[in-house]
């Protein structure tokens, strides 16, 4: 996975190249707690977050629980889902001593930032967000005001925590552009409070599911991180490929075969064309066998730690509570600066953060 640069929308270069720069960076990323993580998350984002953390950059992971109800009626079994997410982050290598994980519903200051931010953007601008439009269409219901405004809430997550780097997939770029726009507009109107965060575009190929479509929870075509080795073998064996005998790497003409090759490549660091050469006449059967082996080997430690962690919910809740306290400290002080800049700090309530 490489990090690409596009100066037009403030996408960062790989921050590892400059370790002094790394000191000042803070990564803010997030997930909606709608279900367990899968291989697509692992390859696409999780491994990348762990890498950034291990480069010495502070990583904040927002569990975006309020975002669950942007496109459905109920938040679902949050306690189990959130604990499971925490176990999966930690199992994959997120270290709670260096990174923080917290649900955004427990940090009131960042919700309060939403109000001044909403005043800085027009309804028409919100309606132009292509990701919101796509999510609205996919939900097959009329767009809620929360769906329309959640990118502003996401900007509040990022800016309240003073994130400077936001590792995201392509679909999230409009939200980062909006975050930058809100920071600029706020600064222009009230004086310089916010730094403009940059998107760190993850160029990991979108991992296809076992049916050949994009891997996603809603399609039920995933390899969950928590699947057993046997389940993984069975799922990969049932994955769609094509009828050509020889294995070659051709992302256009042979997307399903290419997908398995890319999964092996991402997990082993070997180029996909080289993996194809090696398998060649072994055909789809050997390709699937190799893919299942590589996935199981790569995830073995993660899966073992995941189960150990899930057996200790008190510990997992403690990690979250710790994260909440740290996030509140930063977000409260950001809100305080915002209120000062706006002239809204005209009355102090005893006991509130000064």
Task: Identify which of residues 129 and 221 has a Cβ nearer to ligand TRP in the complex.
Answer: 129
Q: In angstroms, what is the minimal distance from the CB of 170 to ligand TRP?
A: 12
Q: What are phi and psi of 219, to 5 degrees?
A: -85, -10
Q: In angstroms, what is the minimal distance from the CB of 238 to ligand TRP?
A: 28
Can residue 65 be called a binding residue for ligand TRP (CB under 6 A)? no
Among 3, 27, 28, 223, binds ligand TRP (CB under 6 A): 28
Task: Identify which of residues 10 and 313 has a Cβ nearer to ligand TRP in the complex.
Answer: 10
Contact set for ligand TRP, span 181-240 (CB under 6 A): none
Can residue 136 be called a binding residue for ligand TRP (CB under 6 A)? no
Among 57, 64, 200, 319, binds ligand TRP (CB under 6 A): 64
Alpha carbon 304 to its chain centroid, in Å, reads 23
DSSP string, 239-256: S---S-SS----TTT-HH
Alpha-carbon distance of 279 to 237, in angstroms, equals 16
Burial (CB count <10 Å: 0-12, 13-18, 19+), residue 20? exposed
Side-chain half-sphere CA neighbours of 272 within 13 A: 18
Beta carbons within 8 Å of 330's beta carbon, 6+ residues apart: 160, 161, 162
Are residues 154 and 30 in contact, defined by beta-carbon separation less than 8 angstroms? yes
Q: In angstroms, what is the minimal distance from the CB of 347 to ligand TRP?
A: 31
Can residue 30 be called a binding residue for ligand TRP (CB under 6 A)? yes
Task: Identify which of residues 150 and 186 has a Cβ nearer to ligand TRP in the complex.
Answer: 150
Q: In angstroms, what is the minimal distance from the CB of 34 to ligand TRP?
A: 9
Task: Identify which of residues 67 and 298 has a Cβ nearer to ligand TRP in the complex.
Answer: 67
Q: In angstroms, what is the minimal distance from the CB of 340 to ligand TRP?
A: 24
Contact set for ligand TRP, span 147-166 (CB under 6 A): 154, 157-158, 166
Sign, CA dihedral 308-309-315-319, equals positive
**CA-to-CA dists, residue 239 to 12, 251, 272, angstroms:** 36, 16, 18
Residue written as tokens 């510990």? 315
Residues that bind ligand TRP (CB under 6 A): 28-32, 62, 64, 67, 154, 157-158, 166, 168, 172
């Amino acid at each position: 996975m490489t990090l690409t640069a596009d100066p037009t929308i403030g996408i960062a270069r790989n921050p590892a190249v400059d370790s002094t720069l790394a000191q000042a960076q803070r990564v803010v990323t997030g997930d909606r707690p709608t279900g367990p993580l899968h291989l697509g998350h692992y390859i696409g984002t999780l491994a990348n977050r762990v890498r950034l953390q291990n480069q010495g950059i502070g990583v904040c992971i927002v569990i975006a629980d309020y975002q669950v109800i942007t496109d459905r009626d109920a938040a679902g079994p949050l306690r189990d889902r959130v604990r499971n997410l925490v176990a999966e982050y930690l199992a994959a290598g997120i270290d709670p001593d260096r990174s923080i994980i917290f649900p955004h519903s427990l940090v009131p200051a960042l919700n309060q930032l939403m109000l001044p931010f909403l005043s800085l953007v027009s309804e028409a601008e919100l309606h132009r967000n292509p990701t919101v439009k796509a999510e609205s269409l996919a939900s097959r219901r009329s767009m809620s005001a929360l769906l329309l405004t959640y990118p502003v809430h996401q900007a509040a997550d990022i800016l309240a925590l003073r994130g400077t780097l936001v590792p995201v997939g392509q679909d999230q770029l409009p939200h980062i552009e909006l975050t930058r726009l809100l920071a600029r507009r706020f600064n222009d109107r009230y004086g310089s409070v916010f730094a403009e965060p940059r998107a760190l575009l993850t160029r990991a190929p979108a991992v296809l599911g076992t049916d050949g479509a994009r891997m996603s929870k809603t399609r039920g075509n995933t390899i969950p991180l928590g699947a057993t080795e046997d389940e993984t073998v069975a799922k990969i064996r049932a994955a769609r490929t094509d009828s050509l005998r020889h294995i070659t790497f051709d992302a256009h003409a042979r997307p399903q075969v290419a997908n398995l090759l890319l999964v092996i490549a991402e997990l082993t660091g070997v180029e996909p064309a080289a993996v194809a050469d090696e398998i060649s006449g072994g055909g789809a059967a050997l390709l699937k066998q190799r893919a299942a082996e590589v996935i199981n080997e790569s995830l073995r430690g993660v899966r073992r730690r995941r189960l150990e962690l899930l057996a200790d919910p008190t510990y997992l809740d403690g990690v979250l509570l710790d994260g909440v306290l740290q996030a509140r400290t930063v977000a409260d002080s950001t809100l305080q600066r915002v209120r000062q800049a706006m002239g809204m700090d005209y009355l102090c309530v005893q006991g509130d953060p000064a």
